[in-house]
Structure 1
Amino acid sequence: MYCFRRAVGSEPHRPPAAPRPPQDGVAHETNVEGLREAVKRAVQAQRKDLTAGDDAVRSTREGGFLGPGGKVEESGGEGAGEVLSEIQKFRLRQAERDRQLEKERRDKLEKRIRASLEQQKREEAATEIRLQQEVAELEREEEKDRLREKVLAEIVDAKVEELMAMKKKLKAAGLDASDDEDERRASKKDKDRRREHSESQDRDRRRDRDRDRDREARRGGEKDRDAAGSSSRRGDRERERGERDRDGRRRDRDDRRDRDRERERDGRRAGDRDRDREREREDEREAELSKERLKRKMAVLSTVLDDLGGSGDEGEREREQERERE
């Protein structure tokens, strides 16, 4: 064991014995030389021990047990060989355990990555199925909308044809006097709208013309004041001060005018919106009145045709009744 500690450098080196003092009057230089030789030998022995320890440690790390003079078993005895064998076994077990832990860690990581990929594939498949279902649903809805629009267009065309036929019959029977009134009312509405639009444009033009005239007047006044101003420094300062004051007042006045104009414009827009809503309501009322008049015309037409015998055919009478119910 002592040899092993000496080999790895854990046992401190025993210094050599000090030289004996001179006994028989030997010169002082002789003692100094002996001390130097002793120190040199001690230093060499210490370096040798350190080198041996480094070699032992390096050989142990590399998997061998070589010392400075060969194998430790040959130079240090059986005890050192057993210790190094135990160290080697421990390090082998430690390395094997590290490899096993690394393998388990890699296996767990691989399993986790595989599970994540499978989960991602399942989610992508579910998303694709859901998207396909949504696309199919949208296509069905679009097909339904197209069929509905087609049916509505056919119904509207049929109704228009029926109404045109009824209108021709009413004109033939002399019962179409209310159409002139409707046309006059619509013409009056158009005239009112055009008149309001023209008045609004006239107001805007007058306002712009007044603003331009005011601006030109201000410019002319400034030119006149500049021409008639004094050439003295005091007069210049006073004129500049007065111009700044006038500019400030003019800016304030312009700002107030712009704000007033903006409020008026907003009011006009609000009024236009109100008028538009009122026109829409009037149009709706007119549409309802037109429907009521059409129903009355149809009833009168049916009565007239019955009186005139123009609908002697029973099937024609049933068709007229069906139209009236619709």
Structure 2
Amino acid sequence: MATAAVWLTFVTAHLVLSGQWWVWHLVDVVPPPLFTVVPLLLAAGAVPSRGGRRPVAILASAALLFGAPLSGWNVPALWTSQHASPPGAVTVFSWNTEYWDSDGGPFYPFLQGQRADVYLLQEYLNDGDVPTPVHDLDRLRAAFPGYAIAVAGELVTVSRFPIRQAFPLIRSTENGWLGEFEREKILRTDLDLGGGRTLSVYNLHLPVQISPGLSPFGGAFWRTIRDQDAQRGPQWRALAADVDGNRGPILVAGDFNTTPGMEDIRKVPSRLRDPSGLLPTVYPATYRDRAGLPRWWRLDWAFTSADVRVHEYRFGGSGGQSDHRYQLLRLSVG
């Protein structure tokens, strides 16, 4: 019974502190399925105990009730199917490239093979102690002739449709690439779909909360968590403000560095909808996409306004070129 009480206390504390206290980011990284698995195991373990069965069942049920929305299970996948995409549907490919073309794999052929109309790509930078921009736009243009390209910091949007305007929601006020990398985390591009239709696409990569390469016994580890949290807040607020002021069709997609178990995911603007019910898997996860490693977390998301209809939504493997799976959506506007 004590264990069940401790777990219920933990879940309650998580609901209160996640997204509110930067130290709690250490707890935020727990695999979301634990919010359902643990109370079920506690209840099952109490079955042989006649005296403790009832109180444990009550405590475990409460923990399950509070924790189920945080667990990441995609129950609608059990009965929902993909829709047939109508002619003219727009194909959008979103992917955290894990440092642009850094593993020597067939990077550009992989991108071309998606046959997408719009590419939302994150981490257009080199891997190193200091982030460094990649100067590869000529090669990108050669791979996608006729496509429009917008770049802000580490974000690249490639579109078959003309780009009416493109800008980061937060502009760096510092000179140099490092300021752009740290501040320009949401790139908005307004795409001219033709027929008087415009789709605002937000390419997003929120700062990761924890640096696994630092020791928790050093001050740099804790400063990094605090500083990254301070960077995430303004990005969420900028997204909310811009979406609120944009009454046209909207798609927001990218690497949120946010799992279903983090309260930060509730900061997504309320007028946006989550099409995850279309995903053909009961437990959708995008991280980590490496052979032999557990894939317990979903960090990549897509959200649309009500006037955007999503016909198909799925994740796909990176072929070992990234630690993130990609997102692919087929949608229509108007």
> Which range, TM-score by smaller chain?
under 0.3
Report which of the two structures shows the higher radius of gyration computed on alpha carbons: 1
Of structures 1 and 2, the one scoring higher in RCO (CA 8 A, sep 6+) is 2
Q: TM-score, normalised by structure 1?
A: 0.15
What is the TM-score of this pair, normalised by structure 2? 0.15
Higher strand share: 2
Q: Higher helix share goes to which structure?
A: 1
